[in-house]
Structures are given as C-alpha cells and as structure tokens.
C-alpha cells in the first residue's frame, strides 16, 4: 500500500491511493484533477522517502469528488447572574478528494484499491422448511378473594425513658 503525507491549507493529511480525504475548501470544480504541491513523505511498503521539508520528484494527484459541509459546531457563551446568553454556530466547508496516483511523474502503476471486508450474507430461514411452533395460550390468573376483616393490631410500643 502506497501512501503520502501532503500539505493543504497549512494542515497535513495522510493520502492513500484509491481512498478519499476531506481537506479545507479548495477553489476547484467537481470532477477536476490537480496535483499537490507539497509532499512531505512517501511510503511504499518498506521504502520510505522523507523530505526536508518536501520530497522532490514525487507527484500526488487527486480529483475533486464533492464539496461538503462539516459537522455543526455550537458555541454558547453564558455569564451567570447577568442575563447574558449568546448562542452561535458554524459548519465548516470541506472539499472531498479522491487520491488517484502517488509516485514519480510518468511512472505506470496499477492503483491498489483498499480492501474492505464485507460482512457475510446470512440467508433467512424459509417458512416452508421450518414452521413456527405455536405457543400455548396463557391461563388468566384468578383474583384471590379479599378478606373483609383485616386484622390490624397495634403492637405495644416501648416507652422511652429519659434519663435526667
């Protein structure tokens, strides 16, 4: 698996061939392809190229797939006993990029797609083969007869003696 560390908008991202990353909003249209200018590191298996500060001769090309909004962030300022409550919010704009190629310009490689494990399909049991077993009906509980005369006897309480 080949990956690179690229810089975009003052932040560094781990770009893997065949996967997508979300970076700060870029002024490119959907479907357009471009190359990252600053590549900090490139790794291919055990071979690692580290730049000081960038790696020369390495190209990372990406295609803009979508412009998306990030999660909603709510800020709430509160000052007790002063009736100050200020609620504000923000959603950051991101550009989703598909990493197409990492390597030297002119190099011909087949892009390795990340292997995603799919859950095994479980076939439902057919109704014809296994009929449902019927449960016996529950018997209703009979109400116990209430006794008309309740015995409520008071127990003699021990008088507390106060020591003076």
Q: Are 6 and 105 in contact (CB under 8 A)?
A: no
Mean pLDDT of 79-99: 96
Is pLDDT at 82 greater than 60 in this prediction? yes
Is pLDDT at 99 greater than 60 in this prediction? yes
C-alpha to C-alpha distance for 6 and 102, rounded to whole angstroms: 11
Is pLDDT at 60 greater than 80 in this prediction? yes
Mean pLDDT of 132-147: 66
DSSP secondary structure string, 52-81?
SS--TT-EEEEEEEEEEEEEEEEEEEEETT
Backbone φ and ψ for 38, nearest 5 degrees, come out as -115, 110
- Average pLDDT of the chain? 82
Give the global pTM.
0.60
Is pLDDT at 164 greater than 60 in this prediction? no
Report pLDDT for 148.
Answer: 56
C-alpha to C-alpha distance for 116 and 101, rounded to whole angstroms: 19
Judging by DSSP bridges, how do beta strands 59-79 and 33-35 pair with one another? Answer: antiparallel
Q: How does residue 43 score in pLDDT terms, banded at 50, 70 and 90?
A: very high
């Amino acid at each position: 698996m080949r990956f690179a560390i690229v810089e975009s908008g003052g932040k560094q991202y781990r770009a893997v061939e065949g996967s997508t990353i979300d970076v700060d909003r870029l002024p490119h249209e959907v479907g357009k392809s471009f190359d990252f200018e600053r590549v900090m590191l490139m790794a291919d298996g055990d071979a690692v190229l580290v730049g000081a500060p960038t790696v020369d001769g390495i190209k990372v090309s990406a295609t803009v797939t979508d412009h998306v909004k990030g999660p909603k962030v709510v800020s709430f300022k509160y000052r007790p006993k002063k009736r100050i409550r200020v609620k504000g919010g923000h959603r950051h704009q991101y550009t989703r990029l598909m990493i197409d190629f990492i390597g030297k310009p002119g190099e011909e490689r087949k892009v390795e797609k990340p292997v995603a494990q799919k859950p095994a399909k479980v076939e439902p049991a057919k109704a014809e083969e296994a009929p449902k077993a019927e449960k016996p009906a529950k018997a209703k509980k009979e109400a116990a007869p209430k006794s008309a005369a309740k015995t409520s006897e008071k127990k003699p309480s021990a008088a507390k003696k106060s020591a003076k």
